[in-house]
Structure 1
Amino acid sequence: MNPLAAARAYSAIQGTEMPSAPAAGVGQAGFAEMLTSVLGDMTQTSKAAETQMASAVQGQGSLIDVVTAVASAEASLETVMAVRDQVIQAYQEIMRMPI
């Protein structure tokens, strides 16, 4: 999956709008805050999916709610994995640069 497409899918699920270009003056703290936010959202989405599954097993939840929650958790996990892959790739490219 294309990382940009994954980020846009995640933004659509979360109901937020993805910026088209980085804001001026955003430094390391902004990137760190964004990563912390995305990881927190992924954790919350996964916990919500687990809660929906548990309620469905107990006969209190709807199968549609479970499928929706699991799909949302999967999309957020794919986004995090795509960002991780891009960061690793960028790091490897930097390490290959001649000094």
Structure 2
Amino acid sequence: MISATIAANAYDRARPAVAPAEGLPQGASRAAADFARIMDQVDISATGAMRGTTDTHQLVQSIAQAEVALETAVAMRDKVVEAYQEILRMPV
């Protein structure tokens, strides 16, 4: 049977697999680092909640910040894809 502690420990071990890539442009690198920092905060809060060491208010607050960060990242991705598609439509 999987307990909350086992799940939290497995989650902590898997987190490095989704670290931001190296070699991004300055602005994108800073945005990726900020996004990763916010996601790390929500991960810490979620892990603490699973272990019973984090306040519920802190967890909810960090989830709200993560939601805003994710919406921002998705909007940026959509703009990049839109610009790429516009470049593909240009005659050469």
Tell whether 2:51 aligns with 1:95. no
Structure 2 unaligned residues grouped into runs of 5+: 1-23
CA RMSD, 1 decimal:
1.5
Number of residue-to-residue matches in the alignment: 69
Structure with a larger share of its residues in helix? 2
Give, as a single letter, the amino acid of the residue that structure 2 aligns with 1:36: S
What percentage of residue pairs aligned between the two structures are identical?
32
- How far does residue 34 in structure 1 lie from its aligned partner after superposition? 1.0
Tell whether 2:41 aligns with 1:48. yes
**TM-score, normalisation: structure 2:** 0.68
- How far does residue 98 in structure 1 lie from its aligned partner after superposition? 2.0
Structure 1 unaligned residues grouped into runs of 5+: 1-30
Tell whether 2:56 aligns with 1:63. yes
Match of 2:29 in 1: 36
- How far does residue 59 in structure 1 lie from its aligned partner after superposition? 1.7
Match of 1:84 in 2: 77
**TM-score, normalisation: structure 1:** 0.63
- How far does residue 87 in structure 1 lie from its aligned partner after superposition? 0.8
